[in-house]
Amino acid sequence: MPPQVGERPKPVAGSPIRRYPQHPSRLWKRLYYDGWQDDHFLFEKLVYYQPNGLHPIDLGDELHDHRFRVIHKLGYGGSSTVWLCRDQSKDRPVYVAVKIFHAGFAETECRELLMFKVKDEGTDDQEHYLCLPKERFISESPNGTHLCLVFPVLGPTVDQAASIFEEEQNSSSILRTISRSIIEALAILHRRGICHADFRPANILLGLQSLDGLPEEQVLAQLGEPEEEIIHIREDSLPTPDIPYAPKYLVYPVDFHDTSPSFILPRAVVIDFGQAVEAAAEKAPPGIPANYAAPEVILQGSGGQEMDLWSLACTLYEVRVGQQLFDVPQLIGVDERDYEEEISTVLGKPGHGRSDREVAREIGKRAFGDDMTLEKEQWAEMLAGLLRYEPDERLKAQDLLNNAWFGRDS
């Protein structure tokens, strides 16, 4: 058996001598788990578990003076992990999602907390469409001090909608409902003067039936029991230092494909406002992946609310088809020529671009082949109105709510 974290087996006689790092900031290089080549995309990177890095979390850990007990993992990102927790301060079972940032991430850097202002100033039903923090607290770990935000529990990302609901009798109507709620969410943000700047399926979740009131056993029966991958430690001939910076194991996130579709709600909720800006005050940073990025983001390095509209089209395509509209080659960075060549396969070349009708025809061909109907044509035409080279010419989110496609019964 490979040694686990903290174990120190005797070196094998005759084995080549190799020196592994001793410094705390490089101890992560000693860590590994079985199957990392196959499952690496399911876990946060081990390099993040070092001083000033991620918070080591094990199932059953208790946070915020023992108030929140970790029972499953919901997801992770480059700067945080998200955990399903039971709120033990309540008499009845209550469940929340706790997002834990890497150490050193200050509240003043957290754009998600700026959304409290949006929440306070808003008059429409924003909490139905925007996932805003309910509260915040601080947690200490061997890696430092971590900002933690408490959110309601939500379901899978919207790019999974097509596969989750494909067996439902009214699947096309369900996907239309989800698409409308995505547009409504963006319209709310834009009315508040906010540019999300990272508007893509990974940051838009489907709703979930409330878990509150259910015993933990029933919650885990619905979501699946958590599965772990043990973290092992590489040894050498020198004494191995303690490695308190990583958890004992990595936890697979909830796989919502194993959950009954009836438990998942056909409405979208926008999350992760880490790149959001007030459009009138500053330009958005160019952090969104190229497959969802508008031309001005890739070619000019920034954008305004109009960049969200381009990303909206890419997202709506993925909700309906279950695949990405664009596939820009990305090895180290993004080559502008590769980007322009890829989007031109749909839009044509800048300055000599295709008409909306031609763009819609290409979108429909990619999505459905020759199996086109009037409903599919209307859907493709709606997306074509968002995929325009000139930012000011893109359809506005609020106007899309009156689009002919939403007036259909089938």
Task: Encode pLDDT of 70-120 as tens digits.
Answer: 999 999 988 999 999 999 999 999 999 999 999 988 887 787 776 555 555
**Mean pLDDT across the stretch 260-271?**
94
Q: Is the pLDDT of residue 126 over 80?
A: no
Tokens 């010419």 sit on residue: 393
> Cα dist. 68→72, 82, 93 in Å?
12, 13, 11
**Mean pLDDT across the stretch 295-318?**
94
The CATH fold assigned to 154-207+262-395 is Transferase(Phosphotransferase); domain 1 (1.10.510)
Of the two residues 241 and 267, the one the predictor is more confident about is 267
Q: What is the DSSP string of 202-269?
A: GGEEEEE---TTS-HHHHHHHH----EEE-EE---SSPPPP-TTS-SEEEPPP-GGGS-GGGEEEEEE
State how far the Cα of 297 lies from the Cα of 350, in Å rounded to an integer.
15
State how far the Cα of 287 lies from the Cα of 378, in Å rounded to an integer.
31
Q: Is 317 in contact with 363 (CB distance < 8 Å)?
A: yes
22-151+209-249 shares its CATH topology with 154-207+262-395: no
State how far the Cα of 22 lies from the Cα of 332, in Å rounded to an integer.
30
Q: What is the pLDDT of residue 409?
A: 53
Among 65-69, 242-246, 280-284, 329-333, the range with the most confident prediction by mean pLDDT is 65-69
Length of the chain: 410
Q: What is the pLDDT of residue 8?
A: 47
Three-class secondary structure of residue 311 per DSSP: helix
Q: Is the pLDDT of residue 220 over 90?
A: yes
Q: What is the pLDDT of residue 19?
A: 74
Segments making up each domain of the chain, as ranges: 22-151+209-249, 154-207+262-395
Of the two residues 205 and 241, the one the predictor is more confident about is 205
Q: What is the pLDDT of residue 125?
A: 65
Answer yes or no: is 248 a known binding residue. no
31-35, 68-72, 361-365: range with lowest mean pLDDT: 31-35
Q: Is the pLDDT of residue 315 over 70?
A: yes
Give the architecture-level CATH label for domain 22-151+209-249: 2-Layer Sandwich (3.30)
pLDDT band at 6 (very low <50, low <70, confident <90, very high): very low
Q: What is the pLDDT of residue 52?
A: 95
